[in-house]
A and B are shown apart, each in its own frame.
Chain A
Amino acid sequence: MAIVSSADLGASRTLDSGTAALGPSVGDFVALLKPRVMSLVVFTGFAGLYLAPGHIHPFLAAVAVLCIAVGAGASGAINMWYDRDIDAVMRRTRNRPLPAGRMAPGEALGFGCVLASASVIIMGLALNWVAAALLAGTIAFYVFVYTVWLKRRTPQNIVIGGAAGAFPPMVGWAAVTGDIGTGALVLFALIFFWTPPHFWALSLYRAGDYAAAGVPMMPVVAGARETKKQMLLYTFLLWPVAVAPAWLGLAGAVYLAAALVLSLSFTLAAIRVWHDEGDGAAKRMFGFSILYLFLLFAALILDRAPGILGTLPGLAGGA
């Protein structure tokens, strides 16, 4: 109501008050779940589920993927609640529901906690409690270790915190097997070593935002040159991890070929970033990094058929 009756207020203030008075829309609650991040989490979680040895009912598999998606969304909501002060400073995040004033902080926190609890309980009841515990650990790691502890304290925030994003395939694997196998650890390592060059590519061309918000991302603390060196180093570290599924018999020749081509392309992208003084190469590398992970896991799924949905003759691997 302040919206329409306070003619002396400035235009933007008027809009903010009005938006707040309307209360959050359904879309605002969906935005809290970080749907774009969730899509990659769901895909890698599904990959873990699909690649795990053993069979579960397809409906239970769908429930497991749903729980992983909701758990990831809950983490995002709690992260947005905690980071609402720095989100308001950064251009990329200032239009999120909390910094834009469309939602009260308590609503976001409550929403996140309810979803986190529901996803863990349903995972435990429907699948098994190992997967549920892993899912709970993933949410807790993202919220307490990455968001609360590391993000504002060290440039290694996304290196250690990246583990949170690497857990979903492990959760998917555990949903089928009830334990954590070598294959699950390899899938974890794939995302773990992929995260630094992926995130640092973004932070290279958003360094100003992070500096303004006081977040010690690598380019802010150590400079662009050191960040580019570290990115290149991580793309090299990723090579043995990327081909490991083929060595371990989790995947075959199709995956191996895809992993080699993709890893070469990723390293070349990092070399281009190294030589580029502007933002162009970093932006392209960030985009390619998402495609890299998506294609790598797609190759794993296509190459290795046995799992929850049955067996395709001739493609069976040996995990």
Chain B
Amino acid sequence: MTMVTAMDDRARRVRARNRALLAVLLALVALFYALAIVRMGG
């Protein structure tokens, strides 16, 4: 029972890390897009 809980916790942490990484990657895409627009506009 407790082992199942520990595995759930581990899966939850891995999921949270993956989502954070996805957010960072999307933010980078948006950053480079906006940078390109601003630099070309300037």
Contact = CB atoms under 8 A, between A and B. Distances in A.
A59 B38 contact: yes
B16 interface: yes
A22 B10 CA distance: 5
B34 interface: yes
A126 B34 CA distance: 10
Contact of A25 (B2, B6, B13): B13
Of the four ranges (under 10, 10 to 19, 20 to 34, 35 or more), the interface on chain B belongs to 10 to 19
A18 B6 contact: yes
Interface in B1-35: 2-3, 5-7, 9-10, 13-14, 16-17, 20, 31, 34-35
Given A3-B2, A22-B10, A126-B39, 9 more contacts: A1-B7, A4-B3, A4-B5, A23-B13, A24-B13, A25-B13, A57-B38, A122-B31, A126-B35
A211 interface: no
Interface in A1-20: 1, 3-5, 18
Contacts of B39: 126
Contacts of B42: 57
Interface of B: 2-3, 5-7, 9-10, 13-14, 16-17, 20, 31, 34-35, 38-39, 42
Contacts of B9: 22
A235 B31 CA distance: 42
The dominant DSSP class at the A interface is: helix
Interface string A8-47: 0000000000100111111001000000000000000000
A63 to B, nearest CB: 7
8 contacts: A1-B3, A1-B7, A4-B3, A21-B10, A25-B16, A29-B17, A59-B34, A126-B39
Interface in A115-163: 122, 125-126
A158 B25 CA distance: 36
Interface string A38-70: 000000000000000000010110010000000
Contact of B38 (A3, A5, A60): A60
B35 A63 contact: yes
Contacts of A24: 13, 17
Contacts of B38: 57, 59-60
Nearest to B10: A22
Contacts of A21: 6, 10
Contacts of B6: 1, 3-4, 18, 21-22
Contacts of B3: 1, 4-5
A208 B18 CA distance: 40
Contacts of A23: 10, 13-14, 17
A26 B34 CA distance: 26
A26 B10 CA distance: 12
A126 B31 CA distance: 10
Contacts of A59: 34-35, 38
A249 to B, nearest CB: 29
